[in-house]
């Protein structure tokens, strides 16, 4: 399928604006993506013409809203290769999805002293802190894979880290800082050998790569709508249905029940069991529209475009004196997120100079402070690309970094 980035950009109204007198150069899609008119129009139309609560009313608006909400679930399930829409649980974001999994799995497995949970040094705080809290509550032990100098997981201690005491392995699929796409096949296979469950944080991979959960090697994955052209306030927890059916609920309230008496309650089957209260209806419908948009482009085509842009960016950044790139040095094993430092200049200063030129990047520790500590830096500057990124925008970034060097000598 051919990919015309200039045609794609016409679907995004935000690219018509300027920032500080310069054309907008948006290089912060790993933080949040921009939204095409196709998504904005669907959400507005739902609010204007079909707004009603779901799974509660027999009137027309309630029925139409329920059909749109469940239709979005079905399309999202198909997008990731799920066996059934019932394997897709709507949450408010990846963070809530991972917290749900950590709480529920801890209860289901009756985690306690002597049990172990394995993560990595590469994790976003959302896939680190919930497991820390789980281990603190239960007395289980948290262990982790390190990061090599080139930005990959250090799998050398795999047999020692994942052992008969391991109950859960939860890893990032694509790093939000280093851009590393982790091949988790060996780790998943080892987890299977010892009977451990595998969860993947796919917040950065589902928006950018063709994903099929049937071959990914995970029991659960989490991802979020706002990084894949959808709105904020909507995320997904996918899980094997047989596993979800064993897991106890995370939140309690309306819609997640089967029967309620003053003496006790039984719970609905997944996914309703994990969707207490009124859900983010319009947001879920917006995510469904985003999936339609991505499906129309083809995820293989999106991935090829991002590889080309990332290769171009790596070449451009390495040509700027004093720039240090963190993570894989080539596009092999990495996605369209590139973090870097400029010798002698704090990342916040880099970001301010670039913003003055209309170039929007993110600076800081990117909710992954252990990664910065691993590479002995207080923070990093991050440029992240998506299906609407052009070579001209990478050129603007490179020119901006030249200006950074001039300003700071």
Known catalytic residues are: 367
- The separation between CA 197 and the C-alpha centre of its own chain, rounded to angstroms, equals 20
Question: Strands 166-172 and 197-201: what pairing?
Answer: parallel
Contact 318, 381 (CB under 8 A): no
Report the C-alpha dihedral over residues 183, 188, 189, 193, rounded to 10 degrees: 160
Angle formed at CA 37 by CA 35 and CA 38, multiple of 5 degrees: 100
Report the distance separating Cα 316 and Cα 333, nearest Å: 19
Span between the terminal Cα atoms of the chain, in Å: 46
Report the distance separating Cα 286 and Cα 71, nearest Å: 11
Q: For 209, list phi and psi in degrees, rounded to 5.
A: -125, 150
Tokens matching residue 276: 């207490």
Q: Tokens 């970001």 correspond to what residue?
A: 351
């Amino acid at each position: 399928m051919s990919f015309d980035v200039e045609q794609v950009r016409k679907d995004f109204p935000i690219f018509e604006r300027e920032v500080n007198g310069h054309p907008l150069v948006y290089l912060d899609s790993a933080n949040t993506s921009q939204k095409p008119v196709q998504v904005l129009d669907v959400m507005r139309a739902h609010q204007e013409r079909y707004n009603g609560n779901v799974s509660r009313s027999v009137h027309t608006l309630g029925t139409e809203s329920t059909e749109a909400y469940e239709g979005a679930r079905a399309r999202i399930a198909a997008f990731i290769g799920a066996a059934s829409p019932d394997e897709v649980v709507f949450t408010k974001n990846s963070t809530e999805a991972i917290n749900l999994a950590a709480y529920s799995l801890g209860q289901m497995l009756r985690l306690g002293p002597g049990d172990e949970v394995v993560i990595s040094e590469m994790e976003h705080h959302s896939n680190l802190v919930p497991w820390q809290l789980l281990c603190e509550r239960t007395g289980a032990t948290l262990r982790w894979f390190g990061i090599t100098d080139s930005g990959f997981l250090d799998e050398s201690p795999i047999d020692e880290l994942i052992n008969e005491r391991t109950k859960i392995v939860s890893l990032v699929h694509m790093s939000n800082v280093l851009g590393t796409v982790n091949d988790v096949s060996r780790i998943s296979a080892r987890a299977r050998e010892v009977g451990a469950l595998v969860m993947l944080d796919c917040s950065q991979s589902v928006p950018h790569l063709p994903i099929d959960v049937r071959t990914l090697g995970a029991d659960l994955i989490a991802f979020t709508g706002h990084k894949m052209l959808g709105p904020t306030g909507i995320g997904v927890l996918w899980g094997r249905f047989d596993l979800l059916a064993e897991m106890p609920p995370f939140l309690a309230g309306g819609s997640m029940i089967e029967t309620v008496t003053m003496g006790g309650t039984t719970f609905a089957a997944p996914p309703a069991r994990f969707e207490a209260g009124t859900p983010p209806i319009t947001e879920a419908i917006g995510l469904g529209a985003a999936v339609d948009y991505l499906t129309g482009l083809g995820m293989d085509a999106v991935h090829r475009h991002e590889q080309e842009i990332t290769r171009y960016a790596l070449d451009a950044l390495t040509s700027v004196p004093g720039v240090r790139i963190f993570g894989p040095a080539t596009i092999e094993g990495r996605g369209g997120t590139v973090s870097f430092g400029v010798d002698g200049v704090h990342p916040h200063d880099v970001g301010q100079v670039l913003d003055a030129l209309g170039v929007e990047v993110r600076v800081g520790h990117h909710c992954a402070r252990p990664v910065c500590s691993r590479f002995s830096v207080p923070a990093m500057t991050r440029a992240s690309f998506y299906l609407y990124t052009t070579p001209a925008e990478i050129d603007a970034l490179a020119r901006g970094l030249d200006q950074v060097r001039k300003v700071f000598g």
